[in-house]
A and B are shown apart, each in its own frame.
Chain A
Amino acid sequence: MFFWNQIKCEQTKYLIQTYLDGEMSQKEVIKLTKHLERCTPCDKDRYVYMKIKQSLKMRSIQVNPEVINSLHNYVRRLDEF
């Protein structure tokens, strides 16, 4: 049986990131999830780290120049609507 306070809040900043990077064992994930379910400040941290990771990941999205050209043409045609 796991107790939600088995993990201390000071440890979670580190653990949340390991979890979001997919580098955490299933056993550790269960412990962390139990803690986050009960600890609002740590769960808020999880949300911020998730947004940071999402936002950084977005920088790596490759955009085909043809797609941008077609969107540009769409903008030009808007006057015709």
Chain B
Amino acid sequence: MALENNQKLKKPTFEEISTPYLESLYRSAWSMTHSDADSQDLVQETLLKAYKAYKNFDGRYPKAWLLTILRNTFINNVRKKQAQLLDNPDDPFNEINLSSNLETPEDIVIDPLFEERLEDSYNNLSPDYRQVVDLVDLDGLSYKEAAQKLDVPVGTVMSRLHRARNNIKNQLERSEEA
């Protein structure tokens, strides 16, 4: 009976499942493109693709589903641009772009599942550790600046920071094994 009722439940609209994650999509896009205009374009392209594929979506993990489409769209776009450059060897920017291949598109993007697990690991950090992670990783302060702000020696900032990240790494590895 319960199953029958569940089956009769109406599938949420695309707007309902996508709206709560627009900010996450935009943040992810920005971390890849570092530009407001490119981030908006990337998110819109992602939403259009997701909308077209929505009828085949099973409704589970919408955030991961949307972020995966975003990630793949970004990787495809970068590959297309690289292919265009290879087709045009006279392009003066070609040399620069071809030599700056230290980062692959996969290096730039963040896996949606990794991001979710990292969120949990970050929230499990002790306040002392989280404080120093916030100053250095989120606010971009140097070790010296963070030390001044917290009124502790630079060595303390470094040891807290390194322990915090090791803690996150260990938690991520444990959750991957689980």
A residues contacting B by CB (< 8 A) are 13-14, 17-18, 21-23, 45, 48-61, 63-64, 67-68, 70-72, 74-76, 78, 81
Contact = CB atoms under 8 A, between A and B. Distances in A.
Given A23-B143, A52-B118, A68 B26 contact: yes
Interface string B45-64: 00110010000000000000
Q: Is the interface of A mostly helix, strand, loop or mixed?
A: helix
Contact of B165 (A52, A60, A64, A75): A52
B65 interface: no
Contact of B118 (A18, A50, A55, A78): A55
B70 interface: no
Interface residues of B, number: 42
Contact of B40 (A60, A71, A76): A71
A63 B138 contact: no
Contacts of B44: 71, 74
Interface of B: 14-15, 18-19, 22-23, 25-28, 30-31, 36, 40, 43-44, 47-48, 51, 107, 110-111, 114-115, 118, 122, 133, 136-140, 142-143, 158, 161-162, 165-166, 168-169, 172
B45 to A, nearest CB: 11
18 contacts: A13-B162, A17-B161, A23-B143, A51-B111, A52-B118, A57-B31, A58-B28, A58-B110, A58-B115, A60-B140, A63-B23, A68-B22, A71-B40, A71-B43, A71-B44, A74-B44, A75-B15, A78-B51
A78 B33 CA distance: 24
B40 A67 contact: yes
